[in-house]
Amino acid sequence: MVLESSLEYDACFHFEFSKKIVMYEPQPIGFYYKLYGQVRSYTPDFLITLDNGEQIFYEVKPFCKTEPEEFELEFKAKQAAALNLGIELELITEKKIRVIPLINNLKLLHRYQRLEQYLTPFQKQLLKLITSAESLTLSYLIDNTETSYSEIIPHIADLLAKGLLESNLFQPLEFDSNLYAYG
């Protein structure tokens, strides 16, 4: 995967754990757009495919680079050319990508995500506890499994990454975090 910036790298965490995104491709097909009578080439940062089949191009930029009027004119020309291909072009900046603590939680999920699809016996035990109560806090699970935060968090993060658990990732994943069985 070829990424051009750490901001693009951080955007991938959002793409990876979005329930609506089934695929994302960095530096997809390029296309041409017209600006000031000149034909210019452009390659979006990402092509996203949603679960409904819709595709969207994304340009990832630091907010400060999006403020000049010149950027806005050029971006609108790129959007028009993308629409001629039948695909919208959207802009995302660090204001949506680097939202704390969301980005930290997504990185935590990524760190502990296991590629194997099977669940460990301990993860099955955790899911059974959570499903039977509909919602539990992390501290309740720690107390009832006689584990510590550092022992349980890799299992919880993997279950969240697999979409088997839910929690409010806009809040830090801490002892009082509520966990819900997905579905």
Beta-sheet pairing, 165-166 with 178-181: antiparallel
**Could you tell me the pTM of the whole model?**
0.90
pLDDT tens, residue by residue, 64-119: 999 999 999 999 999 999 999 999 999 999 999 999 999 999 999 999 999 888 99
Q: How confident is the model at residue 134 (pLDDT cuts 50, 70, 90)?
A: confident
Q: Which domains does the chain have, with CATH numbers?
A: 6-97 (3.40.1350.10), 102-181 (1.10.10)
